[in-house]
């Protein structure tokens, strides 16, 4: 049977495709059942493969470079970090009409992080800061410099200026654009990262953090990782933490004021462009909350 290439991203990926890819490229796993995961992402579709494995497939061309990057670097991170990270067991090639590389990984148990699953949010914030500091200590030699592969995370905020200005114009009258422009200006004017480039995760968000018994056990989805300015890894200060937990995170991560100014701008940029573009009420509410947290964090 000839399968048409799935160029429409998520709509072209299903359990049947995964079964065909596994059967043709990794027949040793061909007899295992394939089932969708309960909580899936947007950049990639993930399927359980038996009890102990997962199959992860990029949903579009822009996400495909992460497959080889993670396959190379996840074992390095695993040797250096105290929390568990995904183990990449095999890298699949395009096939069966699917046009991108893909991967087979170990299944990691746990629940995605949420405040109601965490007993002590300040202690949890410190554990995230510890993860960030440990990641920054990993040798960055030969690591991929910030660029298109990570959607320019790890680069100066100026890269996002055009998108921010468009979002501010579109949201005039819907958010406090005067204060938002001031925060964004602070980010643009903050001194650039002047230390040696370090590893960053690129998307430290609740959906990429696994907990068990209220404590951090694993960090997943390193597709946005790279080597550069770590300001993007501080965004969780406004998306998940507030008050005492934010201060605990700020103290434990121990980065300078300029990095925090760039991080604040990064968080604002993402929330602004999401709010300007979304038609989903839930996503809009989340973006408004983050914008409020950023603007009120004087």
| pLDDT, tens digit, 9 for 90 and up, residues 49-62 | 999 999 999 999 99
Residue 4 has pLDDT above 50, yes or no: no
The residue out of 56, 76, 106 marking a domain boundary is 106
Q: What is the pLDDT of residue 10?
A: 56
One domain for residues 122 and 222: yes
Number of structural domains the chain divides into: 2
Tell me the percentage of the chain whose pLDDT exceeds 90: 92
Is residue 157 within a helix (H) or strand (E), and if so which, with residue range? none
What is the value of pTM for the model shown?
A: 0.93
Q: How far apart are CA 218 and CA 96, in angstroms?
A: 32
Residue 17 has pLDDT above 90, yes or no: yes
Residue 2 lies in a domain: no
One domain for residues 210 and 64: no
Q: How far apart are CA 180 and CA 265, in angstroms?
A: 9
Closest CA to 40 of 53, 54, 26, 51: 54
Confidence of residue 141 (pLDDT cuts 50, 70, 90): very high
Domain at 273, CATH number: 3.90.1200.10
Q: How far apart are CA 185 and CA 190, in angstroms?
A: 8
Confidence of residue 5 (pLDDT cuts 50, 70, 90): very low
| pLDDT, tens digit, 9 for 90 and up, residues 170-194 | 999 999 999 999 999 999 999 999 9
Dihedral over Cα of 45, 41, 212, 128: its sign: positive
Closest CA to 222 of 86, 40, 82: 86
Q: What is the pLDDT of residue 39?
A: 72
| Segment 231-250 mean pLDDT | 98
Whole-number Cα distances in Å, 206 to 35, 39, 66, 112, 161: 23, 12, 20, 6, 26
Give the rounded distance of the alpha carbon of 155 from its chain centre.
15
| pLDDT, tens digit, 9 for 90 and up, residues 148-177 | 999 999 999 999 999 999 999 999 999 999
Cβ contact 257:147 at 8 Å = no
Domain at 61, CATH number: 3.30.200.20
Q: How far apart are CA 123 and CA 252, in angstroms?
A: 10
- Domain span including residue 210: 111-296
Confidence of residue 41 (pLDDT cuts 50, 70, 90): confident
Structure tokens at 34: 């394939």
Q: What is the pLDDT of residue 286?
A: 96
Q: What is the pLDDT of residue 253?
A: 98
């Amino acid at each position: 049977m000839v399968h048409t290439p799935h160029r429409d991203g998520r709509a072209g990926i299903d359990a049947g495709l995964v079964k065909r890819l596994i059967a043709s490229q990794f027949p040793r796993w061909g007899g295992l059942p394939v089932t969708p995961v309960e909580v899936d992402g947007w950049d990639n579709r993930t399927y359980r493969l038996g009890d102990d494995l997962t199959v992860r497939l990029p949903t579009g061309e822009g996400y495909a470079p992460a497959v080889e990057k993670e396959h190379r670097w996840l074992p390095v991170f695993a040797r250096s970090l105290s929390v568990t990270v995904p183990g990449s067991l095999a890298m699949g090639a395009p096939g069966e009409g699917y046009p991108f590389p893909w991967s087979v990984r170990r299944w990691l148990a746990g629940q995605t992080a949420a405040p109601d699953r965490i007993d002590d949010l300040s202690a949890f914030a410190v554990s995230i800061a510890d993860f960030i500091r440990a990641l920054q200590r990993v040798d960055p030699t030969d690591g991929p410099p910030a660029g298109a592969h990570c959607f320019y995370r790890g680069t100066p905020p100026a890269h996002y200026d055009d998108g921010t200005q468009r979002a501010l114009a579109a949201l005039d009258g819907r958010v406090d654009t005067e204060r938002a422009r001031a925060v964004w200006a602070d980010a643009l004017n903050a001194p650039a990262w002047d230390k040696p480039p370090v590893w960053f995760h690129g998307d430290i968000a609740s959906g990429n953090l696994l907990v068990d018994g209220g404590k951090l056990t694993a960090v997943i989805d390193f597709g946005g990782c790279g080597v550069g300015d770590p300001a993007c890894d501080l965004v969780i200060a406004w998306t998940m933490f507030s008050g005492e937990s934010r201060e605990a995170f700020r103290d434990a991560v121990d980065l300078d004021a300029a990095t925090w100014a760039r991080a604040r701008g990064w968080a604002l940029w993402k929330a602004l462009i999401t709010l300007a573009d979304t038609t989903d009420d839930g996503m809009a509410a989340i973006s408004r909350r983050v914008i409020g947290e950023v603007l009120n964090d004087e």
